[in-house]
Structure 1
Amino acid sequence: MNVIWSETMHPGGKWSGVIGKGRLVRLTALDKGANVSMLMYHARDLTERYNMPDTLKAQHTAHLTKGNVLMSDNGRVLASIVQDDLGWHDPLGGYTTRASTDEKYGPSSYQEQRNEWLRSGQENLAVELVRSGLGNRDMSPVVNWFSKVFCDEEGNMHFAENHCLAGQVVTFRTEMDVLVIFSNTPHPLDPGGQYPSVPVKIEVLPALPVDSQDHCVNYRPENRRAFDNTWNYYALQS
């Protein structure tokens, strides 16, 4: 399929925009060790957004991969993961803050370093929220694409190093009109002492129509119910 739109997010970069339903959003790590934090909202009603607890408990999982869907707090499907080279993406670890970034990588500010300053996930996401008429109170759990976090028997969270290799891809399909916000900033649990320098390509492509045999629709019975809710919503909008 032909690419409709493409952009490369440089290290520390951010991007936000509305993507209509029925699109494929393909993310490609252009070097090893990528992490992209993502927020997602229903573009027609920004009070509806990605719900991490419902997404995980409905699909009986603590990580995301092909077949999983991102559910909204209205029980609908915002997006579905249709391609995944990595097999594990983190929905639990959150995003970096100014304080945590300074503590790990050293003090950094735009006033002193201009465009070379080390951005945090929280700052990037907050800026893009404001662009869409939202604010800090609309900050919610993120999906960390390309990162793997697992828990041991005591419940301690561990970051899997060397999980993401150069050239690996994850693709999700939009099932609703969505506002997507990306931040190409380090995972907060990444133990590396150097601020990662990994550009990530974003591409948007057309998606084939979804039918009853679709892998994501049938991944779990809960997915089917969420898809039914989504299809009913759009049936009433047309």
Structure 2
Amino acid sequence: MEAKEIFNERVSSGVPFYRVVKKGQTIRIVDLEGCQAVDTLFYNANDHEERYSASDTVREQGSIFITTGTKLLSNDDNVMLEVVADTCGNHDTLGGHCSAESNTVRFGHDKKYMHSCRDNYLLAIGELEMHPRDLTNNINFFMNVPVEEDGHLAIVDGISKGGDYVEMKAYMDVLVLISNCPQLNNPCNGFNPTPIQIIIKEA
């Protein structure tokens, strides 16, 4: 029997989004037009001190990329979510999120005050009465960050197509915090931020 859809919302380009996904529910992130980067953080909804850990996830999975079957671990080594479906097949764990500081270093001082994922996160955590120290390494869904022969990471054109999605099942009540990346200075979203769709289904 098809799981009951309990939430379905279009998230505009370049803005933050947050929502609690209950244990057993699934959340699907849909890249509506393709080549968009969706910077995402996860927290234990009942204890924000427990949050997604990139290092623990990479260690346990033996891969720096995320796809179907990947278990997303917390800093307490608990499984937070599992990727149960993925039509893109390559999601970044190492690239981090853009900020005023990184825009300045990478693209010049005139880009410092362009909107960034860190700005989005700060807006959201302010509403959630969280603290900037709660920000940590995020997942970049749909972002293409290959490792070059010299070991450096590259941010290149995305490989996702319009309608591609990643779906995760929650193993605990999870606060999902998203910045639908507003970056205009690198090809992570084709220099053209676009909307995404968030769909949550009941257990």
User: Normalising by the residue count of structure 2, what TM-score does the alignment of the two structures yield?
Assistant: 0.89
Instruction: Give yes or no for contact 2:100–2:116 (8 Å, CA) kept in 1.
Output: yes
Instruction: Give yes or no for contact 1:159–1:189 (8 Å, CA) kept in 2.
Output: no
Which segments of structure 1 move beyond 6 Å, counting only runs of 4 or more? none
Equivalence for 2:56 = 54
Instruction: Give yes or no for contact 2:6–2:200 (8 Å, CA) kept in 1.
Output: yes
Instruction: Give yes or no for contact 1:90–1:147 (8 Å, CA) kept in 2.
Output: yes
Equivalence for 2:79 = 77
Equivalence for 2:171 = 175
Distance across 1 between alignment mates of 2:48 and 2:189: 37
> How big is the shift at 1:188?
9.0
Distance across 1 between alignment mates of 2:140 and 2:184: 10
Distance across 2 between alignment mates of 1:165 and 1:173: 22
> How big is the shift at 1:187?
6.2
Equivalence for 1:227 = none
Distance across 1 between alignment mates of 2:189 and 2:53: 32
Which of structures 1 and 2 has the bigger CA Rg? Answer: 1
Long gaps (5+) in structure 1: 110-117, 208-238
Alignment of 1:1-238 (within 5 A): 1-101=3-103, 103=107, 107=111, 119-186=115-182, 190-191=186-187, 195-207=191-203
> How big is the shift at 1:159?
2.5
| Change over 3 Å in CA distance of 1:73–1:175 after alignment to 2 | same
> How big is the shift at 1:197?
2.7
User: Normalising by the residue count of structure 1, what TM-score does the alignment of the two structures yield?
Assistant: 0.76
> Which structure has more helix as a fraction of its residues?
1
Higher mean displacement: 173-182 or 127-136: 127-136
| Change over 3 Å in CA distance of 1:52–1:203 after alignment to 2 | same
Instruction: Give yes or no for contact 1:93–1:187 (8 Å, CA) kept in 2.
Output: no
Long gaps (5+) in structure 2: none
Task: Provide the secondary structure at the position in 1 that maps to 2:29.
Answer: strand
> How big is the shift at 1:193?
9.8
> Which structure has more strand as a fraction of its residues?
2
